[in-house]
Structure 1
C-alpha cells in the first residue's frame, strides 16, 4: 500500500468534502477514484484494490476509536469498511456502486449468488452502525459486537475477492 499526502487550498478541500458527502463517499474514496480516472486506469483489479485498501484502513481506524471509547466514530469507520469491501467486489466485476440503494441491491445479489443469508444479516449490523454515527443511541457493548460482525463480514467478502 502506497500513501501520499496532498496539499490543497481550503476552498478546494471543502468542495471535495461536500462532493464526497453528496455522493455517499469518503474523501479518500473520491480522491482515489479521481486519480484512477486521471491515470486512465480502468483495470477492475486496480479499482478493487483501492476499495480493499480503504476497507482495511477504515477497519483499523474503527478499532482505534473503540480503544478510545469513541463509539460514534468507531461506528462510522466500521460502516465505511463494510461499504468499501462491497465496492471492492463490485469493482472487481467492473461495476460501480453509486448509492446506498445500489449497495443494498448488490448485497442481495451476493446473497442470492452464494445462497448465504448471513451476508445480509452481517450487513444489517453495519447499517446499524452507520445510523449510530448520526444518532448515537447504541450502547457501547452493541457497538463492539456489531464491529465484530463487520469484521466477519469483511473476511467473508474478502474470500469472494480471492476467487
Structure 2
C-alpha cells in the first residue's frame, strides 16, 4: 500500500540530489535510510517492498510508453528489473546495493537455475538503463524490451515461490 508524504522543498531538493548521485529511486532511498536508521524491516518485509516497487515501476513504464516517453519508460523498466532481483535477494537475507552486485546476483541466478533466459532478460533490462542516459533506442524497441522485463519479473516471481 502506498502513502503520500509531504516534505519541505529544500529537503526534496537534497533527496533528489542524493537520488541522482546514488542512482536509486526516491522511494528506495527513503526506505533504505529509514531501515538503516531504525532497523524496521525483516527480510520478508524488504522483499515485499521491493516487489511493490517492481510492480509500481512496471505500471509506470507502461503508462510512459502510452505517452510515447521512451526515455522515462526505459528507466522505469530497468527499475522494475532491479527491484525483482532485490526482492529475490531480500528473501535470502541479502541486500544488493550496487550495479555490480545486481549483475553478480543475476549471473548467480542464471547459473543456479540453469536458465539462460534470466541472463538475456537481465542484459536487455540494462539496455533500458543505458537508454535512459543515451536515448538511442526507438520507441518500438523500448516497448519490446519492457515486455521482456515483464517476462523476467514473472520468471523470478515463480522462482521466489519455490
Q: TM-score range by the shorter chain?
A: over 0.9
Q: Which residue of 2 aligns with 1:91?
A: 90
- SS of corresponding position for 2:6: coil
Q: Which residue of 1 aligns with 2:103?
A: 104
- Which 4+ stretches in 1 moved above 6 angstroms? none
CA distance, structure 1, for counterparts of residue 142 and residue 121 of structure 2: 13
Q: Do the aligned residues in 2 keep the contact of 1:59 with 1:77 (CA within 8 Å)?
A: yes
- SS of corresponding position for 2:94: coil
CA distance, structure 1, for counterparts of residue 23 and residue 131 of structure 2: 16
Q: Normalization by structure 2: what TM-score?
A: 0.94
Whether 1:155 and 2:154 are equivalent positions in the alignment is yes
Q: Is the deviation greater in 109-118 or in 40-49?
A: 40-49
CA drift at 1:26: 0.4
Whether 1:145 and 2:144 are equivalent positions in the alignment is yes
CA drift at 1:47: 0.3
Summarize the alignment of residues 7-156 of structure 1 with structure 2, pairs less than 5 Å apart. 7-156=6-155
Q: CA RMSD in A?
A: 1.3
Q: Do the aligned residues in 2 keep the contact of 1:24 with 1:100 (CA within 8 Å)?
A: no
Q: Deviations over 1:42-66 (max 9, x none)?
A: 4101000000000000000000011
Q: Is the deviation greater in 107-116 or in 9-18?
A: 9-18
- SS of corresponding position for 1:137: coil
Q: Is the deviation greater in 29-38 or in 78-87?
A: 29-38
Number of residues of Structure 1 aligned to a counterpart in Structure 2: 162
Q: Is the deviation greater in 4-13 or in 114-123?
A: 4-13
CA distance, structure 2, for counterparts of residue 93 and residue 36 of structure 1: 17
Structure 1: unaligned runs, 5 residues or longer: none
- SS of corresponding position for 2:133: helix
CA drift at 1:38: 4.9
- SS of corresponding position for 2:132: helix
